Structures are given as C-alpha cells and as structure tokens.
Amino acid sequence: MRTHDLAVVGGDGIGPDVTAEALRSVHAAAGHFGFRVTTTAYDLGAERWLRDGVALDETSTEKLRGHDAILLGAVGDPRVPPGVLERGLVVALRVALRHAVNVRPVRLYPGVESPVRGLSPERCDLVIIRENTEGLYAGGGSTVHQGTDHATAVQNSINTVAATRACVGYAFRLARARRRRLTLCHKTNILVEAGKLWTGVVEEIGNDFPDVAHDYVHADAMCQHLPLTPERFDVVVTDNLFGDIISDLGATIQGGLGLAASGNIDPTGANPGMFEPVHGSAPDIAGSGRANPAAAVLSAALCLAHLGEHAAALALEAAAASVLGELRDRPDSTTGIGTRIAERVREVDLTALGDPAASLMTAMSARSGIRE
Ligand code: NAI
Ligand code: MG
C-alpha cells in the first residue's frame, strides 16, 4: 500500500488544534482512497524555545528533510520576542528545504461570503506563486550612526537567477496545466535592477511556453485589480515581499484567513514540501475552540496533491468547501468543523467544485508536469 510519511509541527496557539483537524481529514481520506499515512510529531515552537532556547536545531532539520512532507500549524507566542520563531523556525525551514515556491490559491467557494460586493465563485479562482527564499526577506542589512540624527538603515534585496527561474518555471508549468495565463507582479518601474532580472527570467522561460500567454501588472495596481477583477488572473508569479502582501489581500477576498491555504515547495522535488495555513497562531482566540480549521485542511489537500494523491486532494478540498458553505447558517467549533469535513471526505462528489481537470489539485498532482 502507498505510504506517506508526514512530519507534523503543530506549533503554537491555534496551530496544534487546526493541525489535529487537518490530520483527521487526511486519515479519513487515506482510509477511503486506499493509502497509508504515518505521522511524527516534532517538538518545535514557543514551548521548546522557552524551555531550551532552541527555535530550530540541526538534528530536527535533518530529520524533517527525511519525511515525504511536513504539515505545519503556526508559530508565534506573546511570551517570545517577535521574529524569533517566525524567522528562526518557519523562514529558516523554507530556506533550508529550498522552498523557492510558495503556492497560495485564492478561490472563493460557493456559499462563502466575500467582502467584495457581488463577487461570485466563477470569477475568483487564481493561484499566487510567491518566491519564498529571497528578496528583501533574505537580503540582510545594516544600520550605521545608530542613535544619532544620521542613523542610516540599509535593507538589501537578494534576487538570484537560479531561485527566480525555479519559481517562474513552476508558475509556467502550473499555468500550462490550468488556464494558460501567467501574470508577473512586480514594481519594475522603481525596483529596476530586481525588475530587470525578473522580467528577463519570465521572457526566457516564456519562450518555452508559447501556449501560455503572459503579461505584467505592477504590485500597487494589483491591489486594485485583485479585488475588483480577479477573473483577469490565472497564475500570478511574484517576489517574496509582494507575494506576502498580495496573498493576504487574496485571503481577504476569498473570505478570510481561516480559509487561506499554502504550500512551500522545492520545485526540484529534492526536499519535502511544507504545507501550512496562511494565518498565524491567533493568540486572541487560542484555546477557545473558535479557530476555523479549514485553512489547515485545505493546506493538507495541497499536500496530498503534491504527494500525488489526486482523488484524495480533490475530496479534501470539496469536503472543506462544502462545510465552509454551510457555516453561515450552521456555525461550529474547531472540532465540530473538522469532524464534519472528515466525515464528508468519504461521500463528497469529486466534481462538486467543477471539472477536476481544471483544478489546482489536478495540476499539482501531475508530478511529471509540474516538478522540474
Ligand atoms: P493571525 O493570523 O494569528 O491572526 C490574525 C487575526 O485573524 C486574529 O484576530 C485571529 O483571531 C484571526 N484568525 C487567524 N486564524 C484564524 C482561524 N483559523 N480562524 C478564525 N480566526 C482566525 O495573525 P497575528 O495576530 O498577526 O499573529 C499572531 C502570531 O502568529 C504572531 O506571533 C505572528 O508573528 C505569528 N504568525 C505566524 C505565522 C506562521 O506561523 N507562518 C504567520 C503569521 C503570523
Ligand atoms: Mg504574511
């Protein structure tokens, strides 16, 4: 029987609770679709840091590297200085595991209310591909004349052809498997050096994809187009900072952080992918049972797709969407929502969200096509 060996980092706040619900539906899907899932929990996050000052140790990194995929809840705790865990654990893992690609679907599911007036599900189904290891987030910097009126802070942006190619290549392959449209989002009129590199890579790789139309939108203009005309976009490829910003906007459009999923992927396939909800540890609602586990479940669906479990991934997404569509009339607790999704995985219609051929789950599970 096919077996997938998952590492589980529940993390902090609502992280462990939503991850438990994601695992509940993964196990339900495994039972129904005939594969096995083994899990290993990792003691990483705020408690570990408070106990022995370690955000991420070398041994854990190497062990994590040996799994087929990683499910992450969220990290961040009011008792830990900001950035220690977010950078020291999550960002460090993305870099160590060469996750040049961050996949962020922006899909409005039927019955979910978008804050954008009149937006319908048919008009909102796009994927943001964010470069995940470079840009302003990896460039380092320095401050001179600190504490004086001449204090000068420098923050560098790193852009390599290698990581940009890896990211843009994945985006083109994904676009080819979907609606064959790719949009580069950047700020090439101001950030001219990085902009030239990105534009050059898109042109270069675009030559190999004559069947994929590509265009360009400035990051600031994107903040208008995305909420007003999301139907313009199929695959949007962008750098780390712009991707962080526009994918939060995407999450808002699709109904909120409780619904927004993501996957961190090494497009060469050499390292395991790490799948996590976009939201953080939500200390304001931790322990209250009010966290929506759908984002974690949908991230697990991306994970199953990436592992080649196509039908299970479609089922998880359709089941989560179906329960999300009912929440306005039938709200529920974290466990309640998770249980309803897991039960529905076994009976849901795999075409409930439209033609599976057009689904991101299908594109992501066509390994030979999407991976390098
Ligand atoms: P957050 O995403 O944790 O919460 C923002 C707001 O959304 C809160 O009001 C929260 O209650 C709500 N929310 C988040 N997820 C929800 C869910 N599943 N269901 C219902 N409501 C939900 O962001 P915030 O408050 O800025 O950060 C909290 C901590 O998480 C910080 O330490 C931050 O650094 C960390 N963080 C970690 C991330 C990660 O692990 N990848 C990502 C973002 C933030
Ligand atoms: Mg963010």
Report which protein residue has its CA nearest ligand 1's atom 36. Answer: 280
221 and 309 housed in the same domain: no
**Average pLDDT in the 9-21 region?**
98
55 and 126 housed in the same domain: no
Ligand nearest to C-alpha 84 = 1
189 and 273 housed in the same domain: no
- Which of these, 25, 116, 125, 176, lies nearest to 354 by C-alpha position? 125
- The CATH number of the domain holding residue 127 is 3.40.718.10
Name 250's Cβ contacts closer than 8 Å, sequence gap at least 6.
Answer: 104, 106, 126, 128, 226, 260
Domain-located, residue 160:
yes
**Average pLDDT in the 304-327 region?**
97
Domain-located, residue 109:
no
The last residue of a domain, from among 204, 223, 254: 254
Domain-located, residue 277:
yes
More confident of the two residues 370 and 129: 129
249 and 118 housed in the same domain: yes
Atom index in ligand 1 nearest the CA of residue 78 equals 32
118 and 247 housed in the same domain: yes
Write out residues with Cβ below 6 Å of ligand 1. 14, 18, 74-76, 82, 86, 90, 257-258, 276, 279-285, 291-292, 295
**Average pLDDT in the 206-225 region?**
98
Residue where the block lists tokens 């780390």: 240
* Residue 170 Cα to ligand 1 middle (Å): 28
The last residue of a domain, from among 208, 233, 254: 254
**367 pLDDT above the threshold of 80:** no
Domain-located, residue 58:
yes
* Residue 279 Cα to ligand 2 middle (Å): 8
**369 pLDDT above the threshold of 60:** no
154 and 285 housed in the same domain: no
Q: In the prediction, which pLDDT does 368 show?
A: 46
203 and 73 housed in the same domain: no
Range of the domain at 24: 1-103+258-371
Report which protein residue has its CA nearest ligand 1's atom 38. Answer: 280
* Residue 104 Cα to ligand 2 middle (Å): 11
* Residue 248 Cα to ligand 2 middle (Å): 6
Atom index in ligand 1 nearest the CA of residue 282 equals 3
For 344-365, letters b (16+ CB in 10 Å) and e give bbeebebebbeebeebbbbbbb
Report which protein residue has its CA nearest ligand 1's atom 23. Answer: 280
* Residues 35-72: tens digit of each pLDDT: 999 999 999 999 999 999 999 999 999 999 999 999 99
Overall domain count for the chain: 2
Indicate whether this model's pTM tops 0.85. Answer: yes
The last residue of a domain, from among 254, 288, 315: 254
* Residues 91-124: tens digit of each pLDDT: 999 999 999 999 999 999 999 999 999 999 999 9
**312 pLDDT above the threshold of 90:** yes
Domain-located, residue 108:
no
156 and 171 housed in the same domain: yes
**23 pLDDT above the threshold of 80:** yes
Q: Token digits for 179?
A: 């609606």
Mean pLDDT of the chain: 95
148 and 217 housed in the same domain: yes
171 and 204 housed in the same domain: yes
Measured CA to CA, the distance from residue 269 to residue 242 in angstroms comes to: 25
